Amino acid sequence: MKVIIINGPNLNFLGIREKGVYGNTTYEEMCSYLYKEAKKIQVHVDIVQSNIEGEIINFIQGAYEKYDGIIINAGAYTHYSIAIFDAIKSISINTIEVHLSNIQAREEFRHKSVIAPACYGQICGFGKYGYVMAINALVQQ
């Protein structure tokens, strides 16, 4: 199985930004962890990140006929990007939305995900382990 993990804006600043919410683990450390965990599950993962909405859409469209699953943490775009919603809907790849923090326990504007209805499922609040949960969910379907 081949899965792409797409990370959106500000994820590259893990370990720097809002440590009380996101912890001390850096983005590079999280990616290393995910590569190791995916290997244990015998899943090939590619991990990409962009702060630019159009690049995230390009990653989604580029996954078409190349990947068996997508895991996306769209960051703030989660809450207002109809374009990312449309991109997910335009391909026939099971996509799981992941968030490191529990978006329901944060500011009210974070409670609604406009991309969730286009996704197979949503996992939030489990930190970097949420990505591992998503990989397992894609394997099990």
Q: What is the mean pLDDT of the chain?
A: 92
- Mean pLDDT calculated for residue range 70-98: 96
Structure-token pair, residue 74: 């769209």
Catalytic residue among 22, 27, 67, 131: 22
Instruction: Give the CATH H-level superfamily of domain 2-140.
Output: Dehydroquinase, class II (3.40.50.9100)
Note the pLDDT tens digit of each residue in 98-125: 998 777 656 676 668 999 999 999 999 9
Query: Which DSSP string do the residues of the chain spell out, in sequence order?
Result: -EEEEEE-TTGGGTTTS-HHHH-S--HHHHHHHHHHHHHHHT-EEEEEE-S-HHHHHHHHHHTTTT-SEEEEE-GGGGGT-HHHHHHHHHS-SEEEEEESS-GGGS-GGGS--SSGGGSSEEEESSTTHHHHHHHHHHHH-
Instruction: Work out the end-to-end distance of the chain between its first and last CA atoms, rounded to an integer number of angstroms.
Output: 12
Higher pLDDT, 104 or 68: 68
Catalytic residue among 27, 67, 77, 99: 99
> Residue 64 catalytic?
no
> Residue 80 catalytic?
no
Where exactly are the structural domains of the chain?
Answer: 2-140
